[in-house]
Structure 1
Amino acid sequence: MGVIYKERNAFVIRTEEGPIGEITYIPKDEHTWVADHTYVAPHYRGGNIAQRLLKRLAEEARAEGAKIIPQCSYVGVQFRRNPEYEDVWKH
């Protein structure tokens, strides 16, 4: 549901009604990003919106050769639960 767009230091999912979720990051240096915020509109929570956003962030980090510091609690939990993010996780 919805299309993911890159907007500055964020990935946003939009539908015809507008944005329904976002994940943001702050570049700490050239190869390190701090994932600092994930939001999904209340009506869309419990689905896969946040998961899709995190996967897109990880894909971008891989493409850029960056590592992610999970400051956002959602990202931290997902990094600990899912080995698929080990390659982009800066411990």
Structure 2
Amino acid sequence: MIENLAEIELEQNGSKGRYVLRGPDGAEAEMTFTRVGEHRIIIDHTEVPDVFRGQGAGLRLVTRAVEDARVSGKKIIPLCPFANAQFRRHPEWADVLEG
């Protein structure tokens, strides 16, 4: 269950980064992004292994990116189809949506 997942970790390397949820069996759900300048990030890809499906892992990853963008004053360009769909479902995120 998702309650057993560790906290979301943020990994960054240069202009690339990812948010990761690790399950107890070592499986990883991830959302990758690219920083564009100082004030924008592009969400490139979200991948949720079957072991996490139906538990809200993908939504947790996108939500964390939204929260971090708010704190840092950044805008998000959701190129990933999953992230894009989440932005359409969550109009309260419009403040961080680049557009």
- After superposing the two structures, state which structure 1 stretch, 1-10 or 65-74, moved more: 1-10
- In the TM superposition, residue 64 of structure 1 has moved relative to its aligned partner by 1.0
Q: Counterpart amino acid of 1:7?
A: E
TM-score, normalising length: structure 1: 0.92
- Cα RMSD of the aligned pairs, angstroms, is 1.1
Unaligned runs of 5+ in 2: none
- In the TM superposition, residue 15 of structure 1 has moved relative to its aligned partner by 2.1
State how 1:11-90 maps to structure 2 within 5 Å. 11-90=19-98
Percentage identity across aligned positions? 38
List structure 1 segments (4+ residues) > 3 angstroms apart after TM superposition. none
Q: Counterpart amino acid of 1:45?
A: R
Unaligned runs of 5+ in 1: none
TM-score, normalising length: structure 2: 0.85
- In the TM superposition, residue 62 of structure 1 has moved relative to its aligned partner by 0.9
Q: Counterpart amino acid of 1:66?
A: K
Tell me the number of residue pairs that the alignment of Structure 1 and Structure 2 aligns.
91
1:24-48 deviations in whole A, cap 9, x for unaligned? 1100110010000101011211220
